[in-house]
């Protein structure tokens, strides 16, 4: 089993910004099908990432936006810097990232059809923040038929120290697992899916502008940010094929051209990651 594809490594003619030849795309799709994930290095430029981060810094400084994020005074770093849910509905830069043609082209190659955008999120993951226990995204989205694909855009240097993602290759070919309860000391979300017997986690280190694409059934998660001075910011989009018939009500699907596309509601869905209730004087 391989550890995922770094598109462009095999073909030096591929543009360093992520523009890929037909050979690169074909190889990436094959590896994605085998492993359930792949990384495209440098798909977004440094100026684009810096601009996106500056916009979210300003959004955070301006205070709560009901229904999207609500920072509050707390000893918990994730309460001071909560993730922003569906920012594309309130921030034009986030909408541009979510619907970016570079993402669309790769996603269409992976899904084999036109795609719809179902969700966006921005994670600050400040120093000292908990991670998110291993889980499967389609446990929350409940896409029917099929599954979703995530495009996870790194906005900082992301590694083991600041809580980078880890994935379990091969689990994308398995059904959804019934999660156990996670350890609230290390995960902000309740759900935890242990790696199946014979499979193990693989760390995915990334640089700003890299994009990790992964299947909605792939088991993945992250450890806490163990640094004292480094954020682990990321922008995430979830996408489904145009042939999707049902999805959770929370996920307001739109075409990559921006028009709203209404799908029937599936059962058992909810926001990505059921958060533990706050305890104590937070």
Write the CATH number for 10: 2.60.120.620
In-domain check, residue 53: yes
Would you state the structure tokens that stand for residue 1, as one six-digit string? 């089993």
**Total structural domains within the chain:** 1
For 212-226, the pLDDT digits (tens) are 999 999 999 999 999
CB-based contacts of 94, cutoff 8 Å, min separation 6: 52, 55, 56, 87, 88, 120, 122, 235
The whole-number pLDDT of residue 282 equals 30
In-domain check, residue 275: no
Could you say which residues of the chain have pLDDT below 70? 1-22, 270-274, 276-282
The whole-number pLDDT of residue 275 equals 73
The whole-model pTM stands at 0.90
In-domain check, residue 257: yes
- CA dist 122 and 154 (Å) reads 10
Range of the domain at 58: 6-265
Would you state the structure tokens that stand for residue 124, as one six-digit string? 């600050």
For 234-254, the pLDDT digits (tens) are 999 999 999 999 999 999 999
Phi first, then psi: give them for residue 236, nearest 5 degrees.
Answer: -125, 135
In-domain check, residue 279: no
In-domain check, residue 233: yes
In-domain check, residue 276: no
In-domain check, residue 118: yes
Dihedral sign of CA atoms 174, 179, 180, 185 in order: positive
The whole-number pLDDT of residue 268 equals 83
The whole-number pLDDT of residue 191 equals 96
Q: What does each C-alpha distance from 219 to 72, 97, 112, 216, 240 come to in angstroms?
A: 31, 25, 22, 8, 18
In-domain check, residue 220: yes
For 158-193, the pLDDT digits (tens) are 999 999 999 999 999 999 999 999 999 999 999 999
The whole-number pLDDT of residue 171 equals 98
The whole-number pLDDT of residue 198 equals 96
């Amino acid at each position: 089993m391989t550890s995922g594809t770094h598109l462009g490594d095999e073909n030096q003619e591929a543009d360093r910004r992520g523009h890929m030849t037909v050979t690169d795309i074909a190889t990436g799709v094959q590896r994605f099908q085998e492993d359930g994930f792949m990384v495209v290095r440098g798909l977004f430029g440094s100026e684009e990432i810096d601009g996106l981060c500056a916009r979210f810094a300003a959004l955070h400084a301006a205070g709560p936006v009901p229904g999207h994020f609500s920072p509050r005074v707390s000893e918990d770093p994730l309460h001071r810097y909560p993730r922003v849910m569906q920012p594309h509905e309130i921030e034009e830069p986030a909408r541009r990232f979510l619907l970016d043609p570079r993402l669309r082209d790769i996603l269409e190659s992976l899904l084999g059809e036109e795609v719809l955008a179902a969700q966006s999120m921005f994670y600050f993951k400040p120093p000292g923040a908990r991670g998110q226990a291993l889980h499967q995204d389609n446990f929350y989205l409940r896409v029917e038929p099929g599954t979703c694909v995530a495009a996870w855009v790194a906005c900082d240097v992301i590694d083991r120290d600041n809580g980078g993602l880890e994935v379990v290759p091969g689990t994308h070919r398995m059904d959804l697992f019934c999660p156990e309860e996670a350890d609230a000391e290390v995960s902000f979300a309740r759900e935890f899916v242990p790696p199946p017997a014979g499979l193990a986690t693989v760390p995915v280190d990334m640089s700003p502008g890299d994009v990790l694409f992964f299947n909605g059934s792939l088991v993945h998660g992250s450890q806490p940010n163990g640094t004292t001075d480094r954020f682990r910011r990321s922008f995430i989009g979830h996408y489904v094929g145009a042939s999707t018939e049902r999805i959770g009500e929370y996920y307001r699907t739109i075409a990559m051209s921006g028009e709203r596309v209404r799908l029937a509601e599936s059962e058992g869905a909810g926001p990505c990651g059921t958060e533990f209730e706050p305890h104590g004087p937070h």
